[in-house]
Amino acid sequence: MGIEDVARVAGLDPDDPRLVEALTHSSYAAEHEVTSNEQLEFLGDAVVDLAVAEYVVRSWPDVDEGVASVVRSRTVNEASLASVARALALGEHLRIGRGVRKERGAERDSLLADAFEALVGAVFSVRGYDAAREFVVAQLAERIDSAARHGDVIDVKTHLRRWAETQGLAPPEYELSATGPAHDVTYEARVVVGPLVGVGRGPSKKRAEAAAAAAAWEGAQRAGVT
Report the pLDDT value the prediction gives residue 151, as an integer from 0 to 100. Answer: 47
Instruction: Give the Cα separation of 182 and 186 in Å (integer).
Output: 9
Mean pLDDT of 132-145: 94
- Distance from C-alpha of 130 to C-alpha of 135, rounded to nearest angstrom: 9
The reply to whether 117 belongs to the active site is yes
pTM tops 0.85, yes or no: no
Cα torsion 61, 63, 68, 74: sign: negative
Q: How far is CA 33 from CA 37, 93, 151, in A?
A: 13, 19, 49
What CATH topology corresponds to 3-150? Ribonuclease iii, N-terminal Endonuclease Domain; Chain A (1.10.1520)
Q: Identify the pLDDT of residue 108.
A: 85
**Chain-centre distance of CA 217, in angstroms?**
14
The CATH architecture assigned to 155-223 reads: 2-Layer Sandwich (3.30)
More confident residue, 184 or 144: 144
**Domain boundaries along the sequence of the chain:** 3-150, 155-223
Catalytic one of 45, 64, 65, 114: 45
Average per-residue pLDDT in the chain? 88
Those residues with Cβ within 8 angstroms of residue 30's Cβ, 6 or more apart along the chain or in another chain: 36, 97
* Residues 201 and 188 sit within 8 Å (Cβ to Cβ): yes
Q: Assess whether 109 carries a catalytic annotation.
A: no
- Could you tell me where the DSSP H helices lie in the chain? 3-10, 17-22, 26-32, 38-59, 65-75, 78-87, 90-93, 98-102, 109-127, 129-149, 156-166, 205-223
C-alpha dist (Å) from residue 187 to 167, 190, 196, 205: 29, 10, 20, 6
Give the pLDDT band of residue 92 (cuts 50, 70, 90). Answer: very high
**Strand pairing of 173-179 and 196-202?**
unpaired
158-208 confidence digits (pLDDT tens): 778 888 888 899 999 999 999 888 878 889 999 999 888 999 888 888 878
The number of angstroms, rounded, from the C-alpha of 172 to the middle of its chain's C-alpha atoms is 25
Burial environment of residue 203 by CB neighbours within 10 A (0 to 12, 13 to 18, 19 or more) = middle
| 21, 41, 117, 218: the active-site residue | 117
Q: What pLDDT score was predicted for residue 102?
A: 73
Query: Would the pLDDT of 209 be above 60?
Result: yes
DSSP structure string for 163-176:
HHHHTTPPPPEEEE
Question: In Å, what is the CA distance from 103 to each residue of 46, 121, 164, 172?
Answer: 29, 26, 37, 41
| Residue 49: pLDDT band with limits 50, 70, 90 | very high
Q: What is the C-alpha to C-alpha distance for residues 13 and 223, in angstroms, rounded to an integer?
A: 37
Q: What would the pLDDT profile of 7-42 be if each residue is shown by its tens digit? A: 999 999 999 999 999 999 999 899 999 999 999 999
